[in-house]
Structure 1
Amino acid sequence: MELGLFSLSLSVSDIKVSKAFYEALGFEAMPSCGSIEDKWLIMKNGQTMIGLFEGMFEDNILTFNPSDVRAVQDRLIDNGVSIDVPVKGNSGPGHLIVKDPDGNAIMFDQF
């Protein structure tokens, strides 16, 4: 199963402060991938990507971007994995969320 691109989605308290911090580490905000006004940004440094999200969720989330999120959901269900947030709809963009055995959230987000 191909999981696609990987990033870490970080829950931040102040997106402006967090953006400045990650820019100091060499990250750059990706064009057309969020904004300060929308309170979310996707940033990249080489092959490393992070998402900064202010006020959208409590904990940090491991994020994968598969080409077919419904196929991932079917495979997880077939393997007995409990789905916390299932994919909505039968086609187009969607996401699902599961938790690993230690309670870490993993989102599969097809856009």
Structure 2
Amino acid sequence: MFEKNMLTFNPGWNQDATETESFTDIRDLQKEWKTKRMEFVNEADESSSGPAHFVITDPDGNPILVDQHR
């Protein structure tokens, strides 16, 4: 699907893949970023809770996966 490098961010995990005490839920990030007119390739279901993901692209067309595991 993607021909470029994919960047991944995981809300709720630090750089060592250890769970953090608090984090902003992915659905809240998605809502906020929509107000900034970011274009989404794939969206998280805003009526759900728990694990979810969405994909946006950077200005160079690289996909960015935001993936929440809990």
**TM-score normalised by the chain length of structure 2:** 0.68
What letter is aligned with 1:85? N
- State how many pairs are aligned: 56
- Between the aligned residues of both structures, percent identity stands at 43
SS in 1 for 2:42: coil
SS at match of 1:103: coil
Deviation string, structure 1 residues 84-110 (Cα, Å, up to 9, x no partner): 100035211000000011101101100
Unaligned runs of 5+ in 2: 13-24
Of 42, 47, 50, the residue aligned with 1:92 is 50
Higher strand share: 1
- What is the root-mean-square deviation of aligned Cα atoms in Å? 1.8
Q: Distance in 2 between matches of 1:72 and 1:57?
A: 23
> Structure 1: any 5+ residue segments left out of the alignment?
1-55
Deviation per CA, 1:22-50, whole angstroms, max 9, x where unpaired?
xxxxxxxxxxxxxxxxxxxxxxxxxxxxx
Q: Which has the higher contact order (CA 8 A, sep 6+)?
A: 2
The one-letter code sitting in structure 2 at the alignment partner of 1:61 is M
**Residue 10 of structure 2, aligned match among 24, 49, 65:** 65
| Letter of the 1:106 counterpart | I
Whether the 8 Å CA contact 2:4–2:61 is kept in 1: the answer is no
Q: Is the contact made by 2:2 and 2:63 (CA closer than 8 Å) also made in structure 1?
A: no
Runs of 4+ residues deviating >3 angstroms: 56-59
Which one has a bigger Cα radius of gyration?
1
